Amino acid sequence: MINARTDAAYVCGIEEAIRRGNAYLEAGADMVFVESPASAEEVKRAIEQIKGPVSINMLEGGRTPMLTFEELETAWRCKGQLPHVYLADSCICVAEGLELSDGTRDQFRLRGTHVI
């Protein structure tokens, strides 16, 4: 499975990302990963206009809006990803546990983690 990535939406606009996505599919890619569409409308345009499966990455606080899986499901060719969601939840739980144990988050800082 080749999931060809395009970052063109952020730099050049969604039209260029769609053009590149279709070129990747013509060159043999199996799927197109569109990085950083700026709105639900851009996500919809990418899914509708790219002539193959589309992968969208949604990250809390990222440029791409957080859409529901139901919204993505309306376009059957889209794979939604939520990277770091479980890791972030785990970090929050551990941080809360540390605060309960000694009132600090120093254990994270000692190990080089500045996420929290």
Q: pLDDT per residue over 4-30, tens digit each? A: 999 999 999 999 999 999 999 999 999
Q: What is the pLDDT at residue 33? A: 92
Q: What is the pLDDT at residue 28? A: 97
CB atoms within 10 A of CB 85: 12
Q: Is the pLDDT of residue 116 over 70?
A: no
Residue in this structure with the two tokens 């499966």, named with its chain if needed: 53
Q: Is the pLDDT of residue 108 over 70?
A: no
Q: pLDDT per residue over 45-93, tens digit each? A: 998 999 998 888 877 777 888 777 777 766 545 555 555 555 666 666 6
**How far is it, in rounded angstroms, from Cα 33 to Cα 86?**
21
Query: What is the DSSP track for the chain?
Result: --EEEE-HHHHT-HHHHHHHHHHHHHTT-SEEEE----SHHHHHHHHHHSSS-EEEE--TTSSS----HHHHHTSTTEEEE-TTHHHHHHHHHHHHHHHHHHS--HHHHHTT----
